[in-house]
Amino acid sequence: RFFRFHAAYGEGVPDPEGVAACIEARAGLEQLSRERVRMEALKLLIAKHAVPTLALMTETGLLEQVLGGVPLLASFSNMVKLEAALALAPDAIRRVGALAISVIEDAERLRERLRLTNAEYERLASMVEGWRQISAGLEEQEARVLLYRLEPERFTDRVLLAWTRAPQGMADPAWRRLATLPMRWSAPVFPLKAADFIRRGVPRGPRLGATLAAAEEAWIAAGFPADAAQVAAIADAAAAATN
């Protein structure tokens, strides 16, 4: 709580006696409830002075004790800058990812240490699952497919995590274009339903599900067309392939 209050309201260097007292009492961290640690940690991560405060906590050894792993301060600092540059609200879970996630085991550890909800854990797992495959060179259609599959929040999570660790740096225009895709393009809803294929003679059951899935993949590959004739042609081809 001392560090959280300093991050939110403090200015300059925190009280040295207070820091010393925290260091002296750090063994007591393990006696605190995980729920209490979670509450203070998540508030600290979105506080105004989170970056210098976390740097101090790292110097004292307290942050590693809270996280159960080595903090990635440069990645966290970059995430704070990116959220500000893109006019995004500070997001505690996204910042946890930047600070402490590299592999799925990190997410699993934090799920326990910070008493993450299932939804919070799943966001971290999604971030770690694919951030290494994302680069500023991703083509527009590839990025749209990713946004369609992930939806905006998880797309942004994954792209920003990759950007925080990219060698090109924060000012790279290609990264910015990728990160702002959800602001420029809304993924459409797949326009075909089961009834469209039943009318085309596809029987109910596994074949119907497979036909729907194949048609959706063809629609995605075609660039998400909205034209009725194009959509009908995709449906016809998918139905013919399974009949």
d(CA 63, CA 56): 9
Cα–Cα distances in Å, from 242 out to 11, 98, 220?
67, 45, 19
Sign of the four-CA dihedral 219, 225, 231, 237: negative
Boundary-marking domain end, from 184, 204, 228: 184
C-alpha 59 chain-centroid distance = 27
Q: Do 46 and 162 belong together in one domain?
A: yes
Q: Which amino acid makes up residue 242? A: T
Whether residue 42 lies inside any domain: the answer is yes
Q: Do 100 and 150 belong together in one domain?
A: yes
Q: Do 58 and 175 belong together in one domain?
A: yes
pLDDT tens, N- to C-terminus, the chain (243 residues): 655 655 655 666 666 666 676 566 565 566 557 777 888 889 999 988 899 889 888 888 888 888 888 999 999 999 999 999 999 999 999 999 999 999 999 999 999 999 999 999 999 999 998 899 999 999 999 999 999 999 999 999 999 999 999 987 788 899 999 999 999 999 999 999 999 999 999 999 999 999 999 999 999 999 999 999 999 999 999 999 987
Q: Do 233 and 138 belong together in one domain?
A: no
- Total number of domains in the chain: 2
d(CA 54, CA 110): 17
Q: Do 105 and 137 belong together in one domain?
A: yes
Whether residue 26 lies inside any domain: the answer is yes
Whether residue 189 lies inside any domain: the answer is no
At 19 the three-state DSSP class reads helix
Q: Are 185 and 140 in contact (CB under 8 A)?
A: no
C-alpha 111 chain-centroid distance = 15
Whether residue 215 lies inside any domain: the answer is yes
Q: Do 75 and 23 belong together in one domain?
A: yes
Q: Are 71 and 58 in contact (CB under 8 A)?
A: yes
Q: Do 162 and 206 belong together in one domain?
A: no
Which CATH number goes with the domain that contains 108? Answer: 1.10.3090.10
Within 10 angstroms of residue 45's Cβ, the number of other Cβ atoms is 24
Range of the domain at 88: 2-184
